[in-house]
Amino acid sequence: MQLIDVPLGGKKFTRICDNGVKFSKLDRFLVSENFYNTWGNVSALALERKLLDHCPIVLRDREIDYGPKPTKIFDEWLIGEESKKVVEDAWSRTVDGCRYNCIFRNKLKNVKLALKQWSKSTFGSLDKEIEELKKKACDWELVAESRTLNDEERASWIEVRKQWIEKDTIKMNMAREKSRVKWIHEGDENTKFFHSVFKRRHSRKNIRGLNINGNWSEDPIEVKQAAFDHFKMQYEKEYQ
């Protein structure tokens, strides 16, 4: 039925037999793709059970702020020297700060902001440019159907088609990199499908909370500290 299973937090299982032998995840929320795309931060939480053998589950739309997000780099940004110059110019700017770690942090902020602005100005109007080039190429085809094109007109037609294919390839590569899934049909990025895939991947990858010492916590500070302590313990182990 093409329904999506909403990620469940709080407990691994929602039904426990009275004898404590069988554990099952029977209770869940199944929603349609349109619902999931409308409420991108939707998640489910399993609550403590009382006398019943089933745990109550709650569906909610909640976004937890874990602080600044890391900068994401697309392969298309690395083609050519333009992005490199943007990073170098942003890094060379003078920033405020008396400690080295503050200066380093502020420089990274400058780079992230510069890349964001450059990406918006370079790729923000990509769809519009593709449609304009596509229309020009189609217009040349209509002209070619009615009469023979001269060398200059044919060269213009070829150049327009070349730019159209290049920009459309950039768009497809960025969509492929975001989704990390194969095309449904070769050469068709299926924007609506991949847009929904992006949201589902983002929702599944989000950390809604952690079980810390047997208690479910969604406090960003506690979750970060628990993750830090876990990996610290792993790296401090001595292996023979």
* pLDDT tens-digit map of 214-240: 788 888 888 888 888 888 887 776 655
Give pLDDT tens digits for 114-168. Answer: 888 888 888 888 888 888 998 888 888 888 888 888 888 889 889 998 998 888 8
- As a whole number of angstroms, the distance between CA 51 and CA 45 comes to 19
Summarize the confidence of residues 53-70 as an average pLDDT: 76
Q: Which of the four pLDDT bands, split at 50, 70 and 90, describes residue 75? A: confident
Name the average pLDDT for the chain. 79
Per-residue confidence (pLDDT) for residue 40, from 0 to 100: 66
Domain residue spans of the chain: 1-64, 68-124, 125-198
Contact 26, 8 (CB under 8 A): no
Q: Which two tokens stand for residue 236?
A: 């401090």
**Region 56-69 average pLDDT:** 76
- Around 160, how many Cα atoms within 13 Å sit in the side-chain half-sphere? 17
The pLDDT confidence band at residue 181, using thresholds 50, 70 and 90, is very low
pLDDT reported for residue 187:
47
